[in-house]
Structures are given as structure tokens and as C-alpha cells.
Amino acid sequence: MLRAGLTGGIGSGKSAVSARLAEHGAVVLDADKMAREVVEPGTPGLARIVEAFGPAVLREDGALDRPRLGEIVFADEARRQVLNGIVHPLVHERMRAAEAAAIAEGGDGVVLVHDVPLLAEGGRGGQFDVVIVVDVPPEVQVERLVRYRGMTSEQAAARMSAQATREQRLAIADIVIDNSGTLADLDKQVAEVWARLQAT
């Protein structure tokens, strides 16, 4: 069994890499997806968020209003830490359970890829056999966030400043995937990384 940590800044294309690794045969454990699941309506996670931030962070249908919550936490470091203190332990618990299930099903040959946006921030690089960082220049991140996610450049900058710096991510990398080129370039790099993971 190989445990790989996959990370990258917002707008880097980490999800595209994750999807390609899954196509090659990796078992991907997506922290972002689990973070959404642990705050769905009716969960203890959502109840704790409402307790901490008030009912204004809920939509009319009772689901979490993510843009509204984002406005609050990305403008205030202390509030962001409160949110992380609620969500992160729930995500870690769910990741551990998903990993155990994947190992039970796949055995020793399984390649587990933990897709974790805040891997560098959490100081968790040492928990993995290998750390893969998807890297693009900051100006590319901003351009993608504006073009594909409808953010203003100021909103993009705020999201990026709430994450580790490019240098901090690269400092924990065993493998770097440069995603500033074409999709064909990305396909080639991911195939090479997959071959390396299988040989490890």
C-alpha cells in the first residue's frame, strides 16, 4: 500500500490531477468532498457552524450558504480558525474511515491518494509516503479563479492569501506537477507520476 498526499493552491488544477490519477487506478480520498458531506443539512457539523456563525449562514432550504460563510471567514483569520476547528476534525475522522475501507477492499497493492487542499497548512506532509504538489504561478491561479469561478481578482487574492504560499507547498513536495501548460502536458505528467507511484 502506498499513501500519497496530493495538494495544490486554489485554481492550480489539483482536481484535474486527482481525476486523472483515479482513472489510472488510484483510490482517491477527496477532503473537499468530505468537508461538504460533514456539513450537510442534519449533520452535527452544520449545527456547530450555525451555533458559531449564526443562522445567516444558512440558505432558505436549510443548506449551508457557502459564499456567505466564505465572505465571513476569508475576511477574518480568527473566524476562519473557528470554522477549521469545527470541520477539520470531522473530515480527518471520515478520511481515516474511508482509508480503512479502501485498504480492506484493495489490499497491499492499493495506491491511496489523499486529495487535501490544505496539506501544507496542516503540517501533515510527513504522514504520507510521498507528497505530490500541483503547481502553477500565482498569476495563473488568479486568472483561472476569475475566469472559471467568477471571482473578482480581490476575492481570488483573499482566497490565495488564506492558503500556504507557493514556496511553502513546494517545500514539502516529493513530486511537482506543473499544470501551467496544456491538458496534453498534464496527461503526460500524470501518467509519469502514476508509473512512479506504482514503482515505489
* Residues 143, 179 contacting (CB under 8 angstroms): no
- Assign residue 188 the CATH number of its domain: 3.40.50.300
Question: Each residue of 87-100: pLDDT tens digit?
Answer: 999 998 999 999 99
pLDDT of residue 181: 93
Is the per-residue pLDDT at 29 higher than 80? yes
Task: Output the pTM of the full model.
Answer: 0.83
Helix 153-161 × helix 138-149 angle, to 10° = 130
Question: Each residue of 100-128: pLDDT tens digit?
Answer: 998 888 777 899 999 998 889 877 778 89
* Residues 179, 16 contacting (CB under 8 angstroms): yes
Question: Each residue of 165-195: pLDDT tens digit?
Answer: 999 999 999 999 999 999 999 999 999 999 9
Mean pLDDT rounded to a whole number for the chain: 93
Is the per-residue pLDDT at 50 higher than 90? yes
| 94: containing domain | 2-199
User: Three-state secondary structure along the chain?
Assistant: CEEEEEEECCCCCHHHHHHHHHHHCCEEEEHHHHHHHCCCCCCHHHHHHHHHHCHHHECCCCCECHHHHHHHHCCCHHHHHHHHHHHHHHHHHHHHHHHHHHHHHHHHHCEEEEECCCCCCCCCHHHCCEEEEEECCHHHHHHHHHHHHCCCHHHHHHHHHCCCCHHHHHHCCCEEEECCCCHHHHHHHHHHHHHHHHHC
Structural domains in the chain (count): 1
